A and B are shown apart, each in its own frame.
Chain A
Amino acid sequence: MRTANVRTIVIWTLVALIGATGWAVLALARGEDVSAAWMVAAALGSYAIGYRFYAKFIANRVLKVDGTRATPAERLDNGIDFHPTDRRVLLGHHFAAIAGAGPLVGPVLAAQMGYLPGTIWIIAGVIFAGAVQDMVVLFFSTRRDGRSLGQMAREEIGPFGGAAALVAAFAIMIILLGVLALVVVNALAASPWGTFSIAMTIPIALLMGFYLRVLRPGRVAEVSLIGVALLLLALVAGRWVAESSWADAFTLAPSTLVIWLVAYGFIASILPVWMLLAPRDYLSTFMKIGTIALLALGVVIALPTLKMDAVTDFASRGDGPVFAGSLFPFVFITIACGALSGFHSLISSGTTPKMIQKETQVRMIGYGSMLMESSVAIMALVAASIIDPGLYFAMNAPAGVIGTTVDNASQVVSSWGYHISPADLAQAAKNVEESTLLSRTGGAPTLAVGVSEIFSKVTGGSLRAFWYHFAIMFEALFILTALDAGTRVGRFMLQDTLGNVIRPFKNVSWKPGLVITSGIVCALWGYFLWVGVHEPLGGINQLFPIFGISNQLLAAVALAVCTTLLVKSGRLKWAWITAVPLAWDATVTLTASYQKVFSSDPKVGFFKQRSVFQDAIDAGKVLPPAKNMDDMHTVVTNSTVDGILSAVLAVLIIVVIADALRVCVRHVRRPALSTLSESPYVESRITAPAGLIPTREEKEEARHAVGAGTSG
């Protein structure tokens, strides 16, 4: 038994105290102003303890990571996708791959319940569920030459569960793309500044693509610098355009933007990767890492005060305007990515395991990156909680609820107990040089207002409008990249499936097949986007819960695969480390699905909603917020589609979990029947530290390895 030295004990006691103080202030403060510093303290203190103790316990005791075992990167090194990558570089790669719009949008919407429920789930969820999932998937995929989650499900659970997982993944991809596109539409609608600067990213990316393909192949850093400079120029120029006679050309209605976005997604996804996707990806990665770093700095320097209530009345009443439903289960569904994200399992299996140097690094790469992602979610929650709650609700409630004038909006928001005058609402829009901020749902505009608030505390108020559009541009940029990349992944899945029936589709470069499948994928997500934009009840209000449910269901698939693998690899005693998060995640998601399907509250249950509106149509009545019979029919169609979708997703996941359970039970009863497709042990010949900072033993080991290399 190793005994800890005094210094270690003192340091960790201090860390624990900082975290505990943060939690205590957040939990006990009522009615007084609370600084965001306490939220940061609670988060960082808890992350440090989770990383140092729980993650280490999982890595060493449960997974028994083996530093002497060669990873796929070492064994199968081909100099391209399989190659041992420095852990610090891989941490950057992995983080850039998992961080996206999700952790920024979800917490902003969840702020309608107050900042406390969101904070608790983001921090507790990541420590016990999200980061555990990412690390365990990474570990098992590394032991299987970087197999994807779908392949692992098929091999370890069976063809039935595997197929259900695949269909779920495809459906989830479509919903994700539709909802992300909706966020962009809501951010760019009637905003010439934003629309112009986002439109300019296309020629900038084409220029970069040409540069990399023809002029100077592979010079990514220099072309990215040029690209970012042009991007900032486009951002500044956006203001000139908005003030010029061109403004009308870039002031687009939501339905026009839908057409542009779907056309963009389709064309971009059939163009060669080098033209648009690769250069955009460099741009958005640069912007993403840069902005997140700036935001972290801004929060720490400005230390703004939280203005949102700790817990709002909507948490218990379940009739919030941003999304309907009570705190349990809908806060967990809405936050999704920042605490537990099924999508990460697609990155943790596939790309990253082919590059990891040592099994011992799964804690730093898998668990560590997810902690960073969670801190991004905390920053988004801070940004949403420091703006005036009245403005927050005016921005995030659908137009059907608060109307389209500042007077009306002020009145409705005041009736919820959040006072903001019509003049203040108009001034807030004017401050960021937008025509209106009412019903700018989807999270991105709210986040942008919060970010501009924080940044202008540091740089001065004159730059407020610039920072707002900077934040909009940064989100829209990587959502557009995701539309392109996601359409390609969806198409790939479709080509693979269709190829089983019609042979030529199997060949992914067969042009007609490529165009047809790209068209199908774009039409599918385009449908949800169109529906979301024209939904009288508010697109985000209706669709975001389905997006959250689908993401959390994918997490359930990943956790089910992990649990099965833990059981099958003789770790039954420790299977709870993923089985408990799985049980929690399944409870939350299936409860949410159940309520979405069966709830008798028309705000929550899709079928109840359908019947209420259908009855009204039969009686010849128009129910608000619908304005005419067409709206009524739209509501009926949409709620039917949404309801069926929720039910299908839930059934698919029950199938996967049940199949996984069957395999686990069979293994426990008759272990001889189960097979484990793990790559055989090969001894590693490289040495590399496990964590960010090498320990004394690891330095010693590295010196020995160098010595042996030169003498032998």
Chain B
Amino acid sequence: MRSALVRVARSVRWYVRELTDESAYERYVAHVRKDHPQAEVPSRREFERMRTDRQEEDPRQGFRCC
């Protein structure tokens, strides 16, 4: 019973983090370590800035509908 609750809580947490893109940094770090082992890993602050700057340059990213 307890373990089932923990499992549900965990999957809810996972879903919320994925849906809000809170996990984007970890995903990016994993990607850089795996595919470009030589490259430097940005700090979370740098990464989040880079992400919003990209949206700045092309506002069609993340556009929502009517």
Contacts and interface: CB of A to CB of B under 8 A. Distances in A.
A100 B20 contact: no
Contacts of B62: 97, 281, 351, 485
Nearest to B31: A79
Given A86-B18, A218-B22, A99 B31 contact: no
B51 A80 contact: yes
B28 to A, nearest CB: 4
Interface string B42-66: 0011011101111111111111111
Contact of A217 (B16, B48, B53, B55): B48
Contacts of A492: 58-60
A508 B20 contact: no
Given A221-B16, A221-B22, A274-B52, A482 B60 contact: no
Contacts of A489: 59-60, 63
Nearest to A97: B64
Nearest to A218: B48
Given A89-B18, A89-B19, A218 B60 contact: no
B52 A343 contact: no
Contacts of A281: 62, 64
B57 A508 contact: yes
A100 B15 contact: no
Contact of A341 (B20, B47, B59, B66): B66
A610 interface: no
A272 B64 contact: no
A93 B56 CA distance: 20
B56 A77 contact: no
A488 B56 CA distance: 9
B19 A101 contact: no
A337 B65 contact: yes
B56 A272 contact: yes
B47 A148 contact: no
Given A88-B15, A218-B48, A83 B56 contact: no
Chain A at the B interface: SS class: helix
A465 to B, nearest CB: 28
Contacts of A347: 63-65
Contacts of B10: none
B7 interface: no
Contacts of B49: 213, 217, 274
Contacts of A174: none
B52 A79 contact: no
Interface string A461-489: 00000000000000000100110011011
A276 B51 CA distance: 15
Given A79-B27, A79-B32, A176 B66 contact: yes
B31 to A, nearest CB: 3
Contacts, number: 124
A123 to B, nearest CB: 20
Contact of A80 (B30, B54, B58, B63): B54
Tell which of B44, B47, B51, B62 has the most Cβ of chain A within 10 Å: B62
A341 B64 CA distance: 13
Nearest to B19: A92
Interface residues of A, number: 57
A98 B65 contact: yes
B55 A278 contact: yes
B65 A220 contact: no
Contact of A282 (B20, B30, B45, B47): B20
Contacts of A85: 18
A353 B51 CA distance: 19
Contacts of B61: 81, 350-351
Nearest to A478: B64
A619 B44 CA distance: 71
A79 B28 contact: yes
A350 B60 contact: yes
Contacts of B19: 89, 92-93, 96
B20 to A, nearest CB: 4
A344 B63 CA distance: 10
Given A79-B27, A86-B18, A221-B22, A148 B60 contact: yes
B39 to A, nearest CB: 11
A516 to B, nearest CB: 16
A346 interface: yes
A501 to B, nearest CB: 21
A253 B58 CA distance: 36
B33 to A, nearest CB: 10
Interface in A276-298: 277-278, 281-282
Interface string B5-29: 0000000000111111110110110
Contacts of A212: 48
Nearest to A508: B57
Interface of B: 15-22, 24-25, 27-28, 30-32, 35, 44-45, 47-49, 51-66
Report, nearest first, the 9 A-B pairs whose CB atoms are least far apart: A79-B31, A488-B59, A102-B66, A220-B20, A79-B28, A217-B48, A89-B18, A343-B65, A274-B52
7 contacts: A219-B22, A273-B52, A347-B64, A347-B65, A351-B62, A485-B63, A489-B60
